[in-house]
Amino acid sequence: MRWIIVGMVVALAGCAGQPVAEPEPRVVRVEVPVQVPCRVTSPAVPAWAAEGLRKEDSLEVKVRALLAERRQRIGYERELVAAVASCQ
């Protein structure tokens, strides 16, 4: 029984004598997103084609003006979407 205890003490003493290996320092690059203020000028609101319509105008004039205004609004909306997308 004594030899077992002596053997265990010797085994533990052998482990205690070894130096602990410290982890090797290394450089790690970490990508971190940074917020940047958005500096986009908002597009100018166009003069809408249907604003100048009068009650007396013919149906053809009104329809043409409304179709033109629709194209204006589509273009204006694309400019707005592009401005917002550039900030994201």
> What was the pLDDT predicted at 57?
94
Reply yes or no on whether the pLDDT at 48 is more than 90: yes
* The two three-digit tokens of residue 44, written as one number: 């100018």
Residue 77: its pLDDT value, please? 97
Neighbours of 43 (CB within 10 A): 14
| 19, pLDDT greater than 80 | no
pLDDT computed for residue 72 by the predictor: 96
Checking if the pLDDT of 20 tops 80, the result is no
